[in-house]
Chains A and B, each alone.
Chain A
């Protein structure tokens, strides 16, 4: 399509404005983490690395980061196993209620977080309390896993649909036992989908706040919850800013990788 000169300039300006709305506030957060003025006066009175040093030695922030990492990794691990198995079952086998199972698996991601949160909270209270299991990291992991399973399931199911069924047949035909077919043919073809699904699942868990609020005990603080709790405290504001800046920098990496993986149409390589 050929555009006139004016149209190109106008569209370019609109695009730039749109991107600015999204990214200028993020840049501001990055910049403010070096702002020497404690109340973030603009323009910055000077640049300082003091807040970064303070954040590094802030035990609350560090504990929250580790809690978030643990919760994210555990939830992703559960999601990988269950999501892959579910996708495989729904794709490869015909059974009664197959469509219903598929629908019920995907539903949690569409449910409002607050509803899932309340429901999980009530369920944990009635089911786990009698066993002496209180609210803590374990309940957070289970809560996160409910929606992490969905992204892995979706990614793997989409990939399985794209793998020609004759691929597995060819493998069996050439003498491979079912586990050999999985190891040599199906798994390599799914590898990048698994990785992309895992990245997305981890990202979802890492910035989740609503379900976490309802499933975490008083002693369990993930990074988003720590940020939320410390936002209102004036003396913590600079450190919160640093943590936010760090999160921005860290988010770029998985997103870039996930995007490269999903544009890989051959699908087999990683």
Chain B
């Protein structure tokens, strides 16, 4: 049945806050999550992505619209009656309980008997590699360990959907990257539908099967990470997902050679010597002056000043050393495939 393949479906969900709906956090949002997929809501803070998560969890009710879980209308259902668990940004572990009691909580309130509770809590702790921490209190754990306890607690009774609200925000870079791999692995092995809310585009792109980019209470684009990155549907998506050169109006005519609005990814632009042979068919070239060079580890970021005051950012992988001509104020030729100037509406 096609319907049971849907884990979550939001139909025209609107959420207004304040008296008389002064603030519209979500504006007629439609969203469908397939069962078993890793889905990310990506957007800047205040875009409404956390509100959508809270509506699905049941902490808030939508002003208008309908929310279904596995085909069942849950719009008016209290959180404790939804087969959905949340990993909170601040983890929300119960400080007066041990790690094991925390993890077993969902089983405790359902009246599961102690031996089974303990066994399943230990099993859940093992899946997040926290064996041996059962008797500790949350305040005796590091940030990364608390994160894992929160995960184990939310996964212990295998909910249909796991909601993750910026779960890695409080961790340092190294731990964050480690947890990204682990979360993805966990999602694959459990087969549970994951809905991740994040403002970190790298996080969304590396972990998700599909991404929805949210801005100003609306979903701008939904699709697989590569598609969202390569073919942004709107100027906002092009600018928010990765860095890009947005060209419109006069600048588009000057640089791209056509009117309209275009996005050119910095890594798609090649640096060449001005004295080199002219470009091939289907290539576009402009010349400019190197305004700035920033070494960013694996790549180098060039800012190129074009005539008429236009500026382009170019990323060059540091596969080899920079040619001696690549220094500030030097004349430089930029070359890109015409297909890489991607038209964006808006």
Contacts and interface: CB of A to CB of B under 8 A. Distances in A.
B188 interface: no
A269 B97 CA distance: 10
A175 interface: yes
Interface string A158-185: 0000001011011111111110100011
A189 B79 CA distance: 21
Contact of A176 (B84, B95, B109, B153): B109
A134 interface: no
9 contacts: A170-B92, A172-B79, A173-B59, A173-B79, A173-B80, A174-B85, A175-B157, A176-B105, A184-B109
Contacts of B80: 172-178
Contact of A174 (B89, B95, B96, B105): B105
A170 B146 CA distance: 14
Contacts of B106: 174-175
Nearest to A168: B92
A138 to B, nearest CB: 38
A188 interface: yes
Pick the 4 closest A-B CB pairs, nearest first: A268-B96, A170-B92, A166-B92, A174-B106
Interface of B: 57-59, 78-80, 84-86, 88-90, 92-96, 105-106, 108-110, 139, 153-154, 157
A268 B95 contact: yes
Contacts of B88: 166, 169-170
A266 interface: yes
Contacts of B93: 170
Contact of B86 (A170, A189, A266): A170
B59 A169 contact: yes
A184 B108 contact: yes
Contacts of A175: 80, 106, 109-110, 157
Contacts of A172: 58-59, 78-80
A243 B139 CA distance: 46
Contacts of A174: 80, 85, 105-106, 109, 153-154
B95 A173 contact: no
A184 B107 CA distance: 13
Contacts of B89: 166
Interface in A183-202: 184-185, 188-189
B91 to A, nearest CB: 8
Interface of A: 164, 166-167, 169-178, 180, 184-185, 188-189, 266-269
B78 A167 contact: no
B95 to A, nearest CB: 5
B95 A189 contact: yes
A173 B92 CA distance: 11
A171 B59 contact: no
Nearest to B163: A173
B94 A185 contact: yes
B85 A173 contact: yes
A111 B154 CA distance: 50
B159 to A, nearest CB: 9
Nearest to A185: B94
Contacts of A167: 92, 94
Contacts of A171: 94, 105, 109
Contact of A169 (B79, B84, B139, B154): B79
B181 to A, nearest CB: 25
A20 to B, nearest CB: 41
A166 B105 contact: no
A173 B161 CA distance: 12
A267 B139 CA distance: 12
Contacts of B94: 167, 170-171, 184-185, 188
A184 B111 CA distance: 13
A173 B94 CA distance: 13
Contacts of B85: 173-174
A173 B57 contact: yes
A253 B92 CA distance: 35
Nearest to A180: B109
Contacts of B58: 172-173
Nearest to A189: B96
A23 B78 CA distance: 57
A185 B105 CA distance: 10
